[in-house]
Structures are given as structure tokens and as C-alpha cells.
Amino acid sequence: MELKEKLISSFLAFEDNLEADSPLHDLRNKAIKTFEAKGFPTKKEEAWKYTSLNSLLKNDYSIFPSQENNVEFKNVKHFFLHDIDTYKIVFVDGVYSSFLSETTHNKLDVCLLSSAMNKPKYKPVIEAYFNKIAKEDSLTSLNTAFAKEGAYIHIPKHKEVEKPIEIINFSTGNEAAILLQPRNLIVVGENAQVQIIERHQSLSENAVLTNSVTEIFAEKRAFVDYYKIQNDGPNASLIDNTYISQERDTNCNVHTFSFGGNLTRNNLNFYQKGEGCNSTLKGITILENKQHVDHNTLVHHIAPNCESHQDYKGLFADASTGVFNGKIIVEKDAQKTDAFQQNNNILIDDKATINAKPQLEIFADDVKCSHGCTIGQFDEDALFYLRSRGIGLKEARALLMYAFANTVLESVKIPELKTRINKLIAKKIGVSLGFEL
């Protein structure tokens, strides 16, 4: 049976098991119909022109994990920011691991979507926010149909969360192939502040396909700092659908570090609904072998006097491929918008490919929009300069890669995370320099 049919028939059994009076019942039914009508995206669609899911869809994924699988903390400790105190929401094969997690209900909610969906106390929040900004495209709808588990984070107004929150999804490989569909809902109240780190990590070579949806709502003057670490195993693929809604005077930043995995597609969508918003989208992509990463960004400027800043850097070795598809829409009312987009790529090997496509749709007349895209090789003059000071070719290249990635790294606000990313970069490029950026 093809994956699509399998999912549709599984849905009936899945819905039967849920409480019939669930307020989300209609939503799920509508979502599965949308998925049924649209199917998985193909390369015929403009937004998927450079990324094919075909080879991934051939696997026979198990859709519901058969059991709760245990993972020992000592074996996965290094995937956490273990040198500092953090809240943790951890899932193993899609099932919440109370053992690995550290949640709270004390003055803020850092917990599970499943419990929030089932408890009357959370009903108003779920009704006000759940699935309110997610698009009705096929993959998001598929996730909505099966949405059951994920992180639920609610920061009340004026609360500055004192430590970062980590959301980690492990897959054990106990199934030959597994499809995971985490669903995260994050509501950041007025004038509140939060830092969140999200990671998907397979612990085996077995196939994993994750179709994740995250909705983030930033209320007035809220500050959200979100980091995605994508350094997964060679048979792990990720489709990340993130939607961020910004009310007035909010500041939302998403950094995406894509170093691993098989195929990664990032659908990152920002909606600036109130005046004075600031959105930052930054990414470092370092790929090798046949890895594929597709950054598909949307910044939708709806209100006036807002800014957006995009800076994506990519380094592509071997036969790896990268896609950058960055869309900026400036609505008629969004006067005085300042939108900036930059995408710089270095192709290390002849077989590496990058497809870059900036798209600007501007309906306002008093705006400042700029975009720039470069694709090149290492600057020979810079290499010669470094080598003439006694620095070997490999180290010289590494230094230039660090320098290249620096504009993205410098805005990482959690020092321990910055150290971690530095180390990941050093490992990825096979050189350890005696210092950090």
C-alpha cells in the first residue's frame, strides 16, 4: 500500500481511539480530507521544484509506535545542553519520556500538548491558538489530522523565562522505519521572553521521516529566540513546518543550523500582524555526501513599520544540494517596511549544487526591500593570505568557513549553545581551531 493510502486508512482507527467529543474532531477530519485531496507535494509544484520526496515515500513507515521505548540518559546526554540548567520536553519515538524531561507548571507551562488538549483548564488557550496560523497545505494538514503529541509552552505575560527550553525528539530505530509527526504549540504572552532549542535526533541508521508542525504566537512586545539544530543521522529526514505570528512590537528570531540528516525541508513562515515587529531568520548549512537541505522562508509583512532580516549561509561539499527559496510579501498597508534578505553560498566541490530563488511581492510604495545572493568558491586571495602566514590549506579553509558563518553565529544568545555549534562546525569541517568565534 502506498504511504498516502496507508495514512488515510490509519486515520479512521486513530480517530476512533480519541474521545468522540474532542473539540478537535472536526478539525482532524477536515485536515485528513485536505491531505487526501492534495497528496504529498511533487516537483510539479513551484514550491517543491528542487526537492523530491519520492525516495522517502517508498519506505514502509510505522505510523504509531508499538511501545514506549526507553533511552538511557547517559547515552543521549550529549544531545542536550547538559552544562547548563534547562527545561526539557523529550519524546522517544513520538512518545513523551517523563524520565528524560524536566517540565514545569510553576508560573509558566512547559509540558505536553496531549495533556493540554485533554484538560479543561487549557481549553481556552487551545481554542484560541491551536491550528490558527498553520497553513492548509498537504503536509501541515497531515500533521494536524494526526496531531496528538508535542510540546506545549505557554509563557504568561511579563514572564522572562530564566532558562532555555529544549524540545528533543529521539527516534530509537526499534522500528525499521518510522514516521513521526510532532506538533508544538507555543504561546508567548505580552512582554514575555523565552529561548527555545529544538532538535530531532535518530539514534540508529534506520529510516526516520519527521513531519513536524510548530505554531508560535508572540503577543505584544514578546521576545522569542528559537534555535533549530539539525544534525541528524544519515537516514533521518525532516520536514519542518514552523509558523510564527507576531503582534505589535514583538521580536522573533529563528536560527537554523543544518549540518546533518538525509533530506531536510524547512518551511519557515513569519506573519507580522502588528506594527513595530522585528523578525530575524538566520541559518548556517554545511552539507556533504548527498545531503539535501531546502530552506523555504516566508516573511509576510502585513502591518506597517516592521523589519525583517534574513541571513542564510551555505557550504556545500561532495554531491550535496541546497535550496534557498525566500519569499517576502509586503502588503499594501505595510508602509515603511524594511526587509532584507541575504543568501551566500560556497560550493566546495564541483558536484555540489545550490538553487537559490528570492521572491519579492511588494504592494506598498514606501518600503525598503533588498536581497542579495552569491554563489562562489573560496576566495583564492584570502586563502593565499592565510597560507602565507604559515596556516595550512585545510586550516586556512576552515578559518574562512568560520569567517563566512560568523554573521549568523554572532547573534546566538546562549553562550553554551554557541560553543556547541562551534564544535559541531569544527567537527563537520574536520578541523579544530584553538579558539571560538
Partner 1 sequence: MLQIKNLHASVEEKDILKGINLNVNAGEVHAIMGPNGSGKSTLASIIAGKDEFEVTNGSITFDGQDISEMDPEERAHKGIFLSFQYPVEIPGVSVTNFIKTAINETRKAKGRPDMPASEMLKMIKEKADLLEIDRKFLSRSLNEGFSGGEKKRNEIFQMAMLEPKLAILDETDSGLDIDALKIVAKGVNKLKTKDNAVIVITHYQRLLDYIVPDFVHVILDGKIVKSGAKDLAYKLEEKGYDWIKEEVNA
Chain residues that interact with partner 1, rule: CB under 8 A: 379-382, 384-393, 395-396, 399-400, 402-403, 405-407, 409-410, 433-435, 437
Q: Residue 114 or 407: which CB sits closer to partner 1?
A: 407
CA 102/CA 97 separation, integer angstroms: 10
Q: Residue 36 or 436: which CB sits closer to partner 1?
A: 436
> Three cell numbers at 111?
509540558
CA 42/CA 375 separation, integer angstroms: 26
CA 320/CA 294 separation, integer angstroms: 11
Q: Residue 9 or 432: which CB sits closer to partner 1?
A: 432
| Spatial contact of 188 and 222, defined as CB atoms under 8 Å apart | yes
**Cβ of residue 302: shortest distance to partner 1, in angstroms?**
34
Q: Residue 374 or 406: which CB sits closer to partner 1?
A: 406
- 382: number of Cβ within 10 Å: 14
DSSP, collapsed to helix, strand or coil, labels residue 150 as coil
**Cβ of residue 341: shortest distance to partner 1, in angstroms?**
19
**Cβ of residue 257: shortest distance to partner 1, in angstroms?**
16
Nearest to 212 by CA among 164, 249, 266, 166: 266
**Cβ of residue 411: shortest distance to partner 1, in angstroms?**
12
CA 101/CA 167 separation, integer angstroms: 9
DSSP, collapsed to helix, strand or coil, labels residue 434 as coil
Q: Residue 26 or 380: which CB sits closer to partner 1?
A: 380
**Cβ of residue 338: shortest distance to partner 1, in angstroms?**
23
Q: Residue 124 or 435: which CB sits closer to partner 1?
A: 435
- 374: number of Cβ within 10 Å: 10
Which residues are paired to 285 by β-bridges? 258, 314
Which residues are paired to 214 by β-bridges? 184, 242
**Cβ of residue 311: shortest distance to partner 1, in angstroms?**
13
Nearest to 238 by CA among 203, 219, 264: 264
Which residues are paired to 289 by β-bridges? none
**Cβ of residue 391: shortest distance to partner 1, in angstroms?**
5
**Cβ of residue 406: shortest distance to partner 1, in angstroms?**
3
> Three cell numbers at 301?
509583512
Q: Residue 185 or 405: which CB sits closer to partner 1?
A: 405
CA 146/CA 89 separation, integer angstroms: 19
DSSP, collapsed to helix, strand or coil, labels residue 426 as helix
Q: Residue 22 or 432: which CB sits closer to partner 1?
A: 432
